[in-house]
Chain A
Amino acid sequence: MNAIQQTFRLTTTAAALLAIFGPALADDAEVNELIKPESSVSIGVGNWSADRPQQGIYDGMRDKDAYGLLDADIVKRDDATGTWMKLKASNLGLDNREIKGEYLRQGNFGITLDYNRISRDNPNTFTTRLQGIGTTTQTVSTAALPGPLQTVSLGTVREGIGLGIYKNLLPGLDFTLSFKNEEKTGTRHWGRGGAPEFAVEPINSTIRQVEGTLSYSSKKLQLSGGYYGSWYDTKNTLVAMTNAGLPVSNANTTYLSLPLDNQAHQLFLNGGYSFTPTTRATVKLAYTHATQDEHLPTQDVAGLSLAGSPQSLKGEVNTTLVQLGLTSRPIKDLSLLANFRYFDVQDETPVARFVQGNPLSCVTPPNGNQCVDNTPFSYKTLTGKLEGTYRLTDVYRLTAGVEERRQDRAVPVSNSLGAGGADNQRVVPMRSKVDETTWRLELRRSMSETLNGSLAYLFSQRTGSSYLTVAGPGNSTTNGIGAPGPGNMINPLNIADRERNKLRFALDWTPVESLAFQLNVEQAIDDYEHGPDRPYGLTDGTSQLFSFDASYTMSEKWQVNAWYAYDHSRAKQRNSRANNGGDRLVVADVLDKRYDLQDTGNSLGIGVRGEVTPRVKMGADLQWSRNVSKYDQGLTVLAAGTQLLPAGFSSDLPNIENKLLRLSFFSTYALNKSSDLRVDLIHERWQTDDWSWSFANGTAFSYGTTTDGTTVTANPKQNATFVGLRYVYKFQ
């Protein structure tokens, strides 16, 4: 929601304060109040009247409880030396607290130290007999050996510590160093993998990042270069899930792999040179060497890996960036921008066989399906951009531009040990080249006192090379659709031929100085092209946005604003379903599916800020939003046959509606010149009929009959009220 600038006329306030608190304000103090940094500390208590599993995911106040409210923003400056001392603390009484301290001798040396904690709670409640949650050995209950039923909450906590150092070495020459260490711990909803069963990912990892930069800046030349290193370090690498009563072993355990340690080292250099005040060139160079060469933990479990297969992936990804830019104003009314970018992400991990189900062959299905190599993907992207802006009149500018993007993509082909043809491992066809051209035209009106805005049109076209087909699992049958299998008959969304048209209109109207309106309208249409041999995938996409804002300054003491936004997106998609028997969804022939997916959002905000008396200020906000998702499916049997849905299954997906109403009010009362009392009132109503964790009849979802019957319960309706009271002390 747009903020409303707080109305605060110092002259009036000061006069009022003088009247209220007496003539104690000396001239110097009055001047200092206006020009010296100010500090504040607030302490208080607040209470939520009910649990807020959805709205409290991140704010550290999920539960019905009382919370300490403690914040501080202390800023001190020694004017003689230009030395700042800052301490900023937020949410100290909450689970998502953070604190930052800074010492800065401006223009010379500075150091910052910060601590930041982000908690993220899963909004669902889990009732389970799974044992060992949070560890790498988890035991699944069985009917014979049921574990105790327990209710658990899942969530993660990030605790970060940051250090920043700044030093001016010479005039124009600065050195900066930043270091960040973030520990992430907790649990995440996972799956057992081998079957649709409940599991919990145990998280205990560290991310470290360090960046050192040397920057030089003069009037014409600027250079900045340095090193950026990043490390991921995890303490958990493999999870063993075993049914109760059985020993942990290859024979009766599902082993779930976890991401392994990885690291990257980058050298970078940025430069800019202004040939003239209106012509400037820039260059950006970076090289990154990233590796993942940790020992594979499955190698330590007897029978869990192919004899002779590598002990580690020896993963290596090298990334090169070269970017050149030129901006110029060759004549007064014309601005030009040219940009060339080479971005090459090369996965140079050696290809090796890690799984081979049949020792004799990896070529012909089904044996081919049982041979698995690692599959490195590489992308080399060249992007050229040219854009010009011409000033038509004092207020109108016209911009035209074109961007050409060409991408070479390395697609692994693992069949017959590299003999070519349809790939036995991949299940999705890919392209080795994808190109896209984007044209842009925009008319802008600016620098008018009352009416400004822009109208922009964008057209882009994406195409690529012929598809590299697949013969991996799921493509073993033609099922009357056509060789070599249904998997090849799709245009994957990220590489599909696509034509995009986009229109953007923005208007700012200020009829009088105290009143302003803003209107934004956007429309985008995507058309995915399909030939007769490739009919599946996204076919059409559209999106619309309408947004209207208004703000009114009623007086120097009262302001109000309001906004409304509507957005709509729609995706049409076509897929097939082939007959392959078993207990799966069966059709006698090929089922043609047409999806029509829609998301509609309506949002409204109203806010007011004001000064009731010189002592009393207040503000109030209303926020309302409603999002509706629709999932229409059209199912047609193409050839003769009957659609047979499996027993116990409904393909009728209801709409999902999410609604939020939030009313908030605050007021501050000036006890004296340096202290306030602040009251906060919030009423929040959240409602959803999301069926993600529901069976077709609306009851809470529980995992399948062969597992321990874990039930996942969502909280569809959450109404809660917050009352908070704080004492705020202000000083300089």
Chain B
Amino acid sequence: MFFSGAVVAADSPTATTKEAPKDLILKGDAKCTGCHDEADDSKPTMLDLRPSVLAIGKTKHGTVADSRTPTCTDCHGESEKHVKHKGSDKPPKADRTFGKNTKTSPEARNDACLSCHQGGKHMNWQSSVHASRDVTCTACHKVHAAHDKVREKATQAEVCFTCHKEQRAQVNRPSHHPIIEGKMTCTSCHDLHGDNPKSLTKASLNDTCYTCHMEKRGPFVHNHQPVTEDCGICHNPHGTTIANLLKSRPPFLCQECHNHDSHPGQVAGLPTAATTGSSTLGTVGRGCLNCHTNIHGGNSTQNSATAGRFRR
């Protein structure tokens, strides 16, 4: 206890004060900061708030010049029983708490945020997958922290991986988007507050992919059907062991749709030496794409049997 000399003890609201505490950060926060200050930070129940419960002053919520900013009780409730508790025993909890062991319902916790943040990107929160699985705003966001990990490019994925274990393993595979390198985040593609399919930022997976891979949008003179439907038919954007995020490697991948005679039905295998035989080159290198190189679509009008086969 070194900054609020008027307050003797921090642990208990029964602590005696020599004078009425003053607001430290938020309008009317003295009601709370008279007891809750940095001395709380080492309590096991406050670990999530580290480095400090008072760090909310470093955030946009703590920017009181903006008249919209809340005070403690806007989120935690008036908590009269908690505030007025006297005695040496543990006081009842605040009306709304957000920690790990909270008894506040997910809806009530989210209502505290939605009372201000229902508009804009959060308009469809109630029908989002996260909301319907009881994931709360504070499950991901640290409201008191100067640096909210889920809003920082370098640390966001760590928060998401708290639940999404499969993706944690996938992003570390040899073929991956630059997520672990901090150049992309989960929210580059996903809007967790919305209700688009797979919580994507755009209305479809293809529209989401086009924001960076717009050359695939076409349309092309020669469209490859699965490309026009869903990039996820062939690619796993979170990471795979096959180049270019492919779910399976050619020719196995291609033969999930193509069974015709001639070389497309070839057995998988490796040539023993350099060759031009198309029936022995469907696995090695780029596999079928060694020749069918414009697999996402082509614009050639060259009069050739290969014109519609993405080879030019």
Q: With A313-B221, A343-B203, A696-B271 given, is the CB distance from A354 to B307 under 8 Å? A: yes
The answer to whether the Cβ of A21 comes within 8 Å of any Cβ in the partner chain is no
Whole-angstrom CA separation of A399 from B101 in the bound complex: 22
The answer to whether the Cβ of A235 comes within 8 Å of any Cβ in the partner chain is no
Give the nearest-CB partner of A623 in chain B: B172
Binds A, one of B71-79, B84-92, B225-233: B225-233
Whole-angstrom CA separation of A585 from B262 in the bound complex: 9
B132: chain A residues within 8 A (beta carbon) = 335, 337, 387, 389, 399
A18: chain B residues within 8 A (beta carbon) = 2
B272: chain A residues within 8 A (beta carbon) = 648-650, 695-697
Which residue among B25, B54, B252, B257 has the maximum number of chain A CB atoms within 10 Å of its CB? B257
Q: Which of B2, B263, B300 contacts A11 (CB 8 A)?
A: B2
B183: chain A residues within 8 A (beta carbon) = 58, 96, 98, 116, 118
Interface residues of B in 210-251 (CB under 8 A from A): 210-212, 214-223, 225-226, 228-230, 233, 241-243, 248-249
Q: Is the CB–CB distance between A487 and B124 below 8 Å? A: no
The answer to whether the Cβ of B291 comes within 8 Å of any Cβ in the partner chain is yes
Whole-angstrom CA separation of A629 from B252 in the bound complex: 13
Give the nearest-CB partner of B131 in chain A: A327
Whole-angstrom CA separation of A488 from B223 in the bound complex: 20
Size band of the interface chain B makes with A: 35 or more
Q: With A118-B183, A193-B293 given, is the CB distance from A695 to B271 under 8 Å? A: yes
B304: chain A residues within 8 A (beta carbon) = 194, 355
Q: Which of A262, A575, A652 contacts B269 (CB 8 A)?
A: A652
Q: Which of A222, A355, A549 contacts B123 (CB 8 A)?
A: A222
Distance between B259 CB and nearest chain A CB, rounded to angstroms: 4
Q: Which of A397, A692, A702 contacts B243 (CB 8 A)?
A: A692
Distance between A430 CB and nearest chain B CB, rounded to angstroms: 7
Interface string of A432-445 (1 = CB under 8 A from B): 00000000001010
The answer to whether the Cβ of A685 comes within 8 Å of any Cβ in the partner chain is no
B18: chain A residues within 8 A (beta carbon) = none
The answer to whether the Cβ of B138 comes within 8 Å of any Cβ in the partner chain is no
A224: chain B residues within 8 A (beta carbon) = 119-120, 123
Interface residues of B in 1-46 (CB under 8 A from A): 1-3, 5, 24-25, 38-39, 41-42, 44-45
Q: With A37-B146, A59-B181, A701-B285 given, is the CB distance from A694 to B123 under 8 Å? A: no
Binds B, one of A42-50, A576-584, A670-678, A719-727: A576-584
Give the nearest-CB partner of B142 in chain A: A5
The answer to whether the Cβ of B185 comes within 8 Å of any Cβ in the partner chain is no
A254: chain B residues within 8 A (beta carbon) = 312
Interface string of A516-536 (1 = CB under 8 A from B): 000010100000000000001
B283: chain A residues within 8 A (beta carbon) = 653
Q: With A272-B124, A473-B260, A695-B284 given, is the CB distance from A370 to B270 under 8 Å? A: no
Whole-angstrom CA separation of A375 from B207 in the bound complex: 20
Interface residues of A in 248-282 (CB under 8 A from B): 254-260, 262, 264, 270-272, 274, 277, 280, 282
Q: Is the CB–CB distance between B166 and A567 below 8 Å? A: yes
Binds B, one of A129-137, A142-150, A458-466, A489-497: A489-497
Distance between A337 CB and nearest chain B CB, rounded to angstroms: 6
Whole-angstrom CA separation of A6 from B55 in the bound complex: 15
Q: Which of B233, B268, B306 contacts A494 (CB 8 A)?
A: B233
The answer to whether the Cβ of A361 comes within 8 Å of any Cβ in the partner chain is no
Q: With A447-B105, A696-B271 given, is the CB distance from A494 to B276 under 8 Å? A: no
Distance between B31 CB and nearest chain A CB, rounded to angstroms: 17
Interface string of A351-375 (1 = CB under 8 A from B): 0001111000000000001101011
Interface string of A477-502 (1 = CB under 8 A from B): 10100000111011011100000000
Q: Is the CB–CB distance between B123 and A282 below 8 Å? A: yes
A597: chain B residues within 8 A (beta carbon) = 248, 252
Of the A-B pairs whose beta carbons lie under 8 Å apart in the complex, a sample of 21, sorted by A's number, is A27-B3, A34-B57, A79-B64, A96-B181, A256-B300, A270-B124, A272-B118, A272-B119, A374-B220, A377-B225, A377-B229, A447-B105, A510-B100, A553-B47, A565-B169, A597-B252, A653-B269, A653-B270, A690-B241, A695-B272, A704-B276
Contacts beyond the supplied A194-B306, A383-B197: 20 A-B pairs with Cβ under 8 Å: A27-B3, A90-B182, A182-B212, A327-B126, A347-B223, A355-B307, A444-B133, A486-B265, A490-B259, A510-B101, A537-B259, A575-B255, A576-B259, A583-B277, A595-B252, A646-B279, A653-B269, A688-B174, A701-B285, A709-B274
Give the top 4 A-B pairs by smallest Cβ distance, nearest first: A474-B260, A217-B119, A35-B57, A82-B65
